[in-house]
Structure 1
Amino acid sequence: MKQPVEGEVDARLAARLAELRGERGWSLGELAERSGVSRSTLSRAERAEISPTAALLNRLCQVYGRTMSRLLSEVEAESGPVPLVRAGEQSVWEDRASGFVRRSVSPPHPSLRGELVEGRLAAGADLVYDRPPVPGLEQHIWVLEGALAVTAQDVEHRLDTGDCLRLRVWGPTRFRCAGAEEARYVLSVVLP
């Protein structure tokens, strides 16, 4: 499987976002009401005039009832599910505005409940999600390098290299690089 180039991923993501809205028969106004995202931002995202942030994609995933991994795998997959994805073929998506880089490690599969994601946050990066894409989502966060502060249910957990946090996500979460160097971690996501 060929790794899509950055512009291709943004264009495919824009098209998929437009398809999802169309499948439901929603206007931009209806989607704006459901997601809390302005019509103009949604329109620009669907036309690939902007690259959506992780926070924006999280809001849309919640409205569409899917995880970010599932949405991105729908965008990146050119064929059906495969059991193995080589390291050089794993899809990478970047939220340049927040300093977040996301690698889809698990082979994409629409009907399986667990997935692995590698996350990297640049020094000083602060990523806030106002809600989970799926309420009750189980997450395991294992820090491979650096320090990460994760806030869930108004409790901040500081994780250093080797530490692992397990939680269920019901409300807002925050991922913050808590050190002077980049934080690199594995996020295991399990649908409820």
Structure 2
Amino acid sequence: MQEADINSRIAAKVRDLRGERGYTLDVLATRCGVSRSMISSIERAASSPTAAVLEKIAAGLNVSLATLFDDARAGSPPEPLVRRPQQAEWRDTETGYTRKMLSPPNWASPLKLTEVVLPAGARVAYEGGKREATIHQHIWLMEGQINVVVGDRQHALAKGDCLAMTLGLPLVFSNPSPRSARYLVALAEPLD
């Protein structure tokens, strides 16, 4: 999937979720701490936001970051299967980390799977916006090593380790090694 396609997908999803909740741009900006102009730019697919900005918007909309990658285009019916070449991939312009959405888009399930590649030396920090609903997340490291800080607690993960958490606390992922790390993110969130 091309960068323009994924940015259009994110734009449509943010716009649709904001509309479903009846939020104006100003209301969402206040809820998530992202400027009105940045949200407008994202909704027009005129900018490629960072992971940190997208996470703030997701928290303001009370969804997981993974939800922002669902296909919101009209006429996109849910399908139970998504083949590897059709799995949407997004790259954070600030850190170079990539997210590949493994779960079929728009499938009504509380479970979402994402494959993440965190480059050597990269660091991604999320402020940890509170959500009204509890969202559970597990990180399973498939290759390399990463450090994950949840709130004030640090965890050093090696290949095969799995870390469980709920979203809401500040969260930092870093790769201290000279090689990329690859991990699976499994999210469980309530269905609307």
Distance 2:62 2:181 in 1: 28
Percent identity over the alignment?
A: 38
- Hey, what does 1:13 align to over in structure 2? 10
Please tell me the root mean square deviation across aligned C-alpha atoms, in Å: 2.2
Q: Where do residues 41-190 of structure 1 align in structure 2 (5 Å cutoff)?
A: 41-75=38-72, 79-131=76-128, 134=131, 136-190=134-188
Is the Cα–Cα contact under 8 Å of residues 9 and 70 in structure 2 kept in the other structure?
no
After superposition, the Cα gap between the structure-2 partners of 1:11 and 1:111, relative to the gap in structure 1 and judged at 3 Å, is closer
CA distance in 2, matches of 1:114, 1:132: 20
CA 1:6–1:77: 2 relative to 1, 3 Å: farther
Output the TM-score relative to the length of structure 2. 0.87
Structure 2, unpaired ranges of 5+: none
In structure 2, which of residues 28, 33, 36 is the aligned counterpart of residue 36 of structure 1? 33
Give the residue type in structure 2 aligned to 1:33. Answer: T
Amino acid at match of 2:114: V
Aligned equivalents of 1:33 and 1:142: distance in 2?
A: 34
Displacement of 1:157 in angstroms is 0.3
Question: Which amino acid is the alignment partner of residue 120 of structure 1?
Answer: V
Quote the offset at 1:49 in angstroms: 2.3
The 10-residue stretch of structure 1 (161-170 or 10-19) with the greater mean CA deviation from structure 2: 10-19
Shift of 1:78: 5.6
Deviations 1:83-130 (A, max 9, x none): 221222211111121222001112234531112110011112111111
Deviation string 1:124-174 (CA, Å, 9 cap, x unpaired) is 211111115745321211111111111112111010112111222331111
* Length, aligned pairs only: 189
